[in-house]
Structure 1
């Protein structure tokens, strides 16, 4: 940095905060470190007794924090994300629409490892609302090597670290299974829970079918729902390993690709995920979804509503953070459940 006359400071960058004190009115920084001095600032600076200023002495190959922040923002900001204004090397990012927030964790870690810059995000693979704050970015020093920022750009390449995937309107078919429900021995308490969770998204019910434990009829019902336009089929009941629990067999016999029957999540270990014709999810929900407030279904549903094809590898990693503590007062998703993804 160098010391110059205030009158000569237009276009230069302040190296320190400038505090204005007016008795009984204010005592605060009127200009922050990193502020670029304008012509209109000169009288104000003189009025607070600043005849000379320490300013950033531009060096070849170094760039101002705000310029670095713009680069950092550009490598973060993917589809359906809005940005805030740049200030003191910081830019915040916000959701442009309701959707599923996605974070490329590998790229995020690589950029943060470079040092002198940072990106802090909320957890990915969770739903966000329009206007929600997604991430904060900052260049740490007042000036940063241009080469370091170019290195960050090269690491990310044509990808983006963050994006929001809008939720897709889904036509849903529900198949409720179980002799006890079909023959009226007990009331169906499962379907209302499913419908209540679907209300959070744009969905329409194609049809709700109640069947006994006949796996051939269940298979036929799933296929019929898809033929009627369902692009998401949810099956409830018959998901344990008891001999008369036939739902997994019925789903398999549709020809759907079984991604997993089982997940390292509690509640929800007996969850089944499959895809019919490659892109229509057919899921089997364990009984816990009916009586537990939050389960595997709450982790999977946002991703399925965003049209994602979830892999077995992703599900196998759910164990870290996959234990719901069933708190007396549920704060999900503002808790640890599912945060190990």
Structure 2
């Protein structure tokens, strides 16, 4: 690949290495330079531009990224179309991500031009969750390097192993002082955990905290066809000779390991009765927050082995003290008022489905759609309103003239929705504890809906995402706690945050609404007519 500075006329057919903004000319990085581009550059006074030009034996960045990704993607993985040298891989089903560390290292050592990153091995993933990405550093690579990378990718693949265990038995032991509502909550939290893997509790038993009572309950659950048995003790397991391990052994089972190098989760026991695995749950398993119990439970739901060797290998990365739901993170943010909300209005799109006009400037009752959305945001309990602009940003700002909103321009709006969302998140004042992400083409969402979302935001109760729901469907806008901003800032391309919502479903507060307003976005002339009808 040729690389270096040339005159604008010599640059024709090459790819712009850097963005250029000069005298009204805007040339994005990665643009294939045409004759018209060259003339515009000359007219703007640009004397020299750095370009990359593929040679006969080169493979383009998108072709290379896609080829490597397709080769390494195994079962249960969907590969997205490559864009600007990046190809993302997503889980095509819920399950456990299986990654061979040697495979990743081998691929990354082929050449510095090719990078491959994944989520942690054995992570439980949801359908649609981004699990890996291939990124080409230059605009193209030599075919020999590409062939070597493809060969390395072919040797070892990554997979999403599906959850196959569906029938789970639960037994809780009781002691004086343990309130029944504690057990009720434990069972509910457990059902929610299992639901993420498509499993369910087929039977639940509550018995006294004695070995004979527990032994009989466990035996009954196995006889009922449980494929996995969970034991929640009224008192934590203190020794292999304690009640829970003794009950497992006395029913004909085997304790495979007690204790794990994951905190929270140290006092976990794994055993087996015939082919049925058993977990003696640690106390932290009563909480919905991630702990070592989740790691073991999800692997067993995917029918993966969980022996002493697998458990003792969990120490690196096993310190889980800082989890997203914790109200007091290790690094405090003293100036944040957690209940203060900033409304973000995404108004950067190109309106390609409208067939020409900028949809945000279409009018209802004499007002542009984007102004209607902004006025409703200003009428809500949001502390401030930020509008993200891009396409025709001057006209959008003109349409909002006189309104007390802030603007942030997204020069990369053509690269997809994620760029605008990230621009908005970065513009949220440091004092705000949450962002209410509104779409500029949804004029039927009024301030009352926005206020209900803001009122439902409950960070002290782990309600970190608020979503409107009508007739069983989730709509927009969505309110996000600041604790999730880092994840939102990892989004790429033209995808929203649906997989982040799915990943943190236990943090979602569903806010009941009525009507079509939270679903109707004006993307087409027909949708505009529908909006006019419902206004």
- TM-score normalized by the length of structure 2: 0.51
Q: Does 1:174 align with 2:166?
A: no
Query: Is the 8 Å Cα contact of residues 189 and 287 (structure 2) preserved in structure 1?
Result: no
Q: Of residues 200, 206, 217 in structure 2, which corresponds to 1:204?
A: 200
Task: State the partner residue of 1:266.
Answer: 263
CA distance in 2 between partners of 1:292 and 1:261 (Å): 22
Corresponding residue number in structure 2 for 1:137 = 134
How far apart are the structure 1 equivalents of 2:11 and 2:170? 73
Give 1:152's aligned residue: 149
Give 1:45 shift.
4.9
What secondary structure does 2:152 align onto?
helix
* 1:100 partner SS: strand
- In 1: Cα distance, 2:328 partner to 2:134 partner: 33
| Contact 1:172–1:232 (CA under 8 A) maintained in structure 2 | yes
> What is the CA distance between 1:248 and its match in structure 2?
0.4
Separation (CA, whole Å) in 2 of partners of 1:318 and 1:94: 24
Please state whether the residue corresponding to 1:199 is helix, strand or coil.
helix
Match of residue 79 from structure 1: 75
Listed as ranges, the gaps of 5+ residues in structure 2 are: 330-482, 488-535
Give 1:64 deviation, angstroms.
2.6
1:187 aligns with 2:179: yes
Structure 2: how far apart are the matches of 1:320 and 1:8?
Answer: 50
Query: Structure 2 vs 1, CA of residues 5 and 261 (structure 1 numbering), >3 Å: closer, same or farther?
Result: closer
Cα distance in 2 between the residues matched to 1:242 and 1:14 = 66
Match of 2:368 in 1: none
CA distance in 1, matches of 2:206, 2:9: 80
Q: SS state of the match for residue 157, structure 1?
A: helix
Q: Is the 8 A contact 1:177 1:247 kept in 2?
A: no
Aligned residues: 317
Higher fraction of helix = 2
Instruction: Please say if residues 257 and 275 of structure 1, whose CA atoms lie closer than 8 Å, have aligned partners that are also in contact.
Output: yes
Q: Which residue number in structure 1 is paired with residue 15 of structure 2?
A: 14
Contact 1:219 1:250 in 2 (8 A): yes
Secondary structure of the 2:15 match is coil
CA offset at residue 282 of structure 1? 0.9
TM-score normalised over the length of structure 1:
0.76
C-alpha deviation, 1:241, in angstroms: 3.1
C-alpha deviation, 1:271, in angstroms: 0.7
Higher RCO structure, 1 or 2 (CA under 8 Å, sep 6+) = 1
1:233 offset after TM fit, Å? 0.6
d(CA) in 1 for partners of 2:241, 2:287 = 21
User: What is the match of residue 238 of structure 2?
Assistant: 241
| Partner residue in 2 for 1:338 | none
1:121 Cα deviation from its structure 2 partner? 2.4
Of residues 281, 286, 309, the one that matches 1:313 is 309
1:339 aligns with none
RMSD (Å) for aligned C-alpha atoms: 3.7
Question: Distance between the aligned counterparts of 1:17 and 1:286, measured in 2?
Answer: 54
